[in-house]
A and B are shown apart, each in its own frame.
Chain A
Amino acid sequence: MKGFIKILEVVLSLLLIFGILPFFTSFSKSNDEWNNALLSLSLRDILISLDKSGILKSYIVSGNLEGLKNYISSLLPGNVMIEIYVNGIPKNVIKIGCNCTLEEKIRLERSLGIYFPEDYTFSLRGKIVRFEFLNTNEIEKMGDADVIIFFGCRDLSKYLNYLNEGKAFIMIGNDICEEKIFNITLKDGLVSSYSQINSNSLEPFRIGEYFIDVPIRIYNNSNFWVKEMSHSLYVCIDNNSLPCIRIDNLPEEYHIGDTITIDETRIKIKDIDADESDGRVFSDISIIASFIFNLSLILSFLKSIFSVVIFSANIPGLISIFSFKQKNSSFILSHDSKLTCLFIPFSA
């Protein structure tokens, strides 16, 4: 019995000793953590350097992700493998299915600033994007579309699967739909209700950033809206035979590159085409990014310019992100990384 107790004591001692051993060996983990930290540091350096040198933009704009991957791999040690995903950029070709009449399609083309075939292709932050219309107006045949556009309220419950495929639906109209579209109840609210939309807690919904520098084509003698105020735009030729624009029949003339402040919103004139020979006279304008990103300002701008309902969902269950009602128009905007630049001006 005495011997058994001694053996028991030894076993207990051994258990204690081996129990504290991990404390002596735990430091080996720090080496792994340093390696991870240094690798993260290297990758951060590479991305910042690529961005600052313009190399990143050239790869992204040309869509050459394989080239970008090879470039980054060449800078890293051979035993490091990388995968690259780029989110938040528009597709090279945005296929539009318009569930509409011929008149509505013409209205849509003018709204998008693509009334003329030359306008189907445009530059968005250096990336060439092209709109393409599908040759059908039946939703059932719009399987290839990235976005399906329709005018007025309708029941779309049959097409819920399109949302799951990443397609977007855009409703253009001034009415608040009484019925639930896709079983979603529209929510009324003010811009201030969504002031937190860019907060960290809603990181995936940093949609406001997509509206900066997006060119909006306004054809000659058309209206555009800033902060709920309508303004008219006329394309002109100045005394030096340079193309210019005038706003609201005022005498001031503005040229390409000028920045105008309209209703406390800074707007840049990106392009003017005053050549009337092809009947295509327009000006491209855009909101300018400010150093302090003022989301409410941008939302006000958008709210007044666009009167659309967009349904889109990459994530099932997350269909509408925010909505608000202004005057007789309703607006729901949902962010879809595949569709970032399709907005419908109310002025159509």
Chain B
Amino acid sequence: MKAQLNIDFILAVTLFIISILFVSYTVMQNAFLLRSEIDKEQKRLIGYAISQLIIFDKGYPEDWNSLDSLQKFGLSLSPYILSRNKINAINNCSYENYNKIKNLLSLPTENDFLLIITNQYDETISKCGLEHKLREIVWIRRFAILDGNIVKINLGIY
């Protein structure tokens, strides 16, 4: 048996190992990014679904103006026209009310939302939700009409 290794063989093995390491590193890195991306996609889908409810759904009862009587969440009077009473009702919502809305929205336990409705000049009209400093947030921005003016609906999903 020959104990001496050919220089070509050493070079080939070295290149092969480097390639394997590079591919492994890339796959590992992308696996984390993919996981994060899937998470974001889910949040975006949840956010989009909730934003549709906000803009198009009146909720139940249709003329609700207090979270106590609320059975189904929705902030509109008609598509794209928001109700001032409903927006006032959710403004500065308490932790209990937040949880009630979260349950009505069937939001997964591990997710939270933050809803901020502002006017054209980004002045807050209504705000409800939880803020997390360490968790990544995904924002969905929609537009609707409130009292004849266009308002921005910023919905963040944690």
Residue positions of A touching B, CB distance < 8 A: 2-4, 6-7, 9-10, 13-14, 17, 21, 24-25, 27, 30-31, 34, 38, 41-42, 45-46, 48-50, 52-55, 74-75
Contact status of A53 and B148, CB under 8 A, knowing A17-B23, A75-B143: yes
Q: How far is the CA of A48 from the CA of B143 in the complex (A)?
A: 9
- Interface segment among B7-15, B66-74, B100-108: the answer is B7-15
Give B2-41 as 1s and 0s: 1 = Cβ < 8 Å from A's Cβ atoms. 0000111101100110010011001100100110010001
> Which residues of the partner chain B approach A4 to less than 8 Å between Cβ atoms?
8
Chain A proximity of B105: nearest CB distance (Å): 19
Contact status of A42 and B30, CB under 8 A, knowing A27-B37, A31-B37, A49-B80: no
Chain A proximity of B9: nearest CB distance (Å): 6
- Please tell me if the beta carbons of B9 and A42 are within 8 angstroms of each other in the complex: no
Q: How far is the CA of A31 from the CA of B44 in the complex (A)?
A: 11
- Please tell me if the beta carbons of B143 and A49 are within 8 angstroms of each other in the complex: yes
> Which residues of the partner chain B approach A3 to less than 8 Å between Cβ atoms?
6-9
Does B125 reach chain A (CB closer than 8 Å)? no
Does B114 reach chain A (CB closer than 8 Å)? no
Does B142 reach chain A (CB closer than 8 Å)? yes
Chain A proximity of B45: nearest CB distance (Å): 10
- Please tell me if the beta carbons of B150 and A10 are within 8 angstroms of each other in the complex: no
Chain B, interface size category, equals: 20 to 34
With A14-B19, A55-B150 already in contact, 15 other A-B pairs whose C-beta atoms are closer than 8 Å: A3-B9, A7-B12, A10-B12, A10-B15, A17-B22, A24-B27, A24-B30, A27-B30, A38-B140, A41-B142, A46-B143, A52-B145, A54-B148, A75-B143, A75-B152
Within 8 A of A (CB), among B101-136: 120
Determine the residue in chain A with the shortest Cβ distance to B37.
Answer: A27
Q: How far is the CA of A17 from the CA of B18 in the complex (A)?
A: 11
Q: How far is the CA of A140 from the CA of B87 in the complex (A)?
A: 64
5 contacts between A and B (CB under 8 A): A10-B12, A27-B33, A34-B44, A42-B142, A45-B143
- Please tell me if the beta carbons of B150 and A46 are within 8 angstroms of each other in the complex: yes
Chain B proximity of A28: nearest CB distance (Å): 8
Partner of A45, one of B27, B34, B81, B144: B144
Determine the residue in chain A with the shortest Cβ distance to B149.
Answer: A53
Partner of B9, one of A6, A25, A54: A6
Give B46-79 as 1s and 0s: 1 = Cβ < 8 Å from A's Cβ atoms. 0010000001000000000000000000000000
Q: How far is the CA of A9 from the CA of B9 in the complex (A)?
A: 11
> Which residues of the partner chain A approach B16 to less than 8 Å between Cβ atoms?
10, 13
Determine the residue in chain B with the shortest Cβ distance to A54.
Answer: B148
> Which residues of the partner chain B approach A74 to less than 8 Å between Cβ atoms?
120
- Please tell me if the beta carbons of A49 and B145 are within 8 angstroms of each other in the complex: yes
> Which residues of the partner chain A approach B7 to less than 8 Å between Cβ atoms?
3
Q: How far is the CA of A46 from the CA of B37 in the complex (A)?
A: 28
Q: How far is the CA of A65 from the CA of B8 in the complex (A)?
A: 72
Contact status of A49 and B140, CB under 8 A, knowing A13-B16, A27-B37: no
Q: How far is the CA of A263 from the CA of B150 in the complex (A)?
A: 44
Chain A proximity of B30: nearest CB distance (Å): 5
- Please tell me if the beta carbons of B145 and A53 are within 8 angstroms of each other in the complex: yes
Partner of B120, one of A6, A17, A24, A75: A75
> Which residues of the partner chain A approach B34 to less than 8 Å between Cβ atoms?
27
